[in-house]
Chain A
């Protein structure tokens, strides 16, 4: 029996109750954490989830079929494991908001560069919102991406001298000048 969340196929361990309890024995816990890390990344990548709020409902945090859910400690442990590998970032000191990086910031930066080259935008100017939601990015991974992550990737590129970020005409958007 393969359980599904929308079009996402859940792994078998998701139906095995003890995986919802943080394991006391170190080796077993490490294996458990590994499985959960993969599941969270996989799910977020395919469902385009960028932000997980620890205390809110999240489809992976509970399994009604077997009546189990992860407690906050387990949630924080699994997400912290992702953070320590650079695959997530806590947005607050209290560890309640977690940014999921199924691509690392560096990888997102490379994707942006690829997008720029593919579309001949080497010397162009775009707004951040255009990159996220404009026609050009449609069908690419950039489309609909999280603004915080996009800004991080752009800042990295700015640091390398590949883009210049400047305040746009409207107060809530910034412009990007590519110089790839």
Chain B
């Protein structure tokens, strides 16, 4: 716009600015309305979909996980509250609430053995054993969702990744990088020796022993002096599957 001098020029420039803004607002509003409308359509279709596939969502864990993904994309959290449309329609809140309670029970029951750190896979197996009578299958994805809902209870329950595995932590222990590396190393055989830690992680033996001692103190490791080679082995119940039957009994 070519600038004209004087009051008149300033005024007309201001008017033009206002008009531009108005136009811009209109366009934005139009867009928002359109998007709102699309979203509303999408939501109602999602609801129709949910209503139609209610049983699949309830019974088929793969289907359920895909449904959750879809919901997340549209900004719907079926687990946000136990009231309202989604919960009533699917009873899905109750399902995860129940899973959450059972997960807490399993974590408590196996804690004496594993120090409050359990393999996700194993937690799922225990959960399935416990829910034998229920017909609905439970996937690891369901476990993760239920655990994420447990976070509201405080910083107790958390999922951590160690190597390729996921572990569920039910005690407020902080695991640092050193701890994680040892847990990862232990996944191969269920145990490590000081020698192995030194060799694989290129640590000094002092560092290896310090970290292993901490893991012992935390109740995450147990020593085994019974092997023929007389070398002390540090076992980690959270990466072995031994606790499955332990937990099931109690």
* Chain A residues within CB distance 8 Å of chain B: 2, 11-13, 15-21, 23-25, 27-28, 31-32, 34, 67-69
Contact = CB atoms under 8 A, between A and B. Distances in A.
Given A2-B245, A12-B244, A17 B224 contact: yes
B228 A67 contact: yes
A20 B237 CA distance: 14
B210 interface: no
A16 B216 contact: no
A23 B242 CA distance: 17
Contacts of A34: 112
B113 A17 contact: no
B173 to A, nearest CB: 13
A11 to B, nearest CB: 7
A24 B223 contact: yes
A21 to B, nearest CB: 5
Interface in B130-155: none
Q: Most chain-A Cβ atoms within 10 A of its Cβ — which of B219, B228, B242, B244? A: B242
B245 A11 contact: yes
B243 interface: yes
Main secondary structure of the interface of B (DSSP, over half): mixed
Given A13-B242, A18-B224, A67-B228, 15 more contacts: A2-B245, A11-B245, A11-B246, A12-B243, A12-B246, A15-B242, A16-B235, A17-B233, A21-B226, A24-B223, A27-B219, A28-B115, A28-B222, A31-B112, A68-B226
Given A2-B245, A12-B243, A12-B244, A28 B219 contact: yes
A2 B246 CA distance: 11
Contact of B216 (A15, A24, A31): A24
Contacts of A23: 222-223
Please indicate which of the listed interface residues B191, B227, B240 has the most CB atoms of chain A within 10 Å of its own CB.
Answer: B227
Interface in B206-249: 216-217, 219, 222-228, 233, 235, 237, 240, 242-246, 249
B125 to A, nearest CB: 13
Contacts of A2: 245
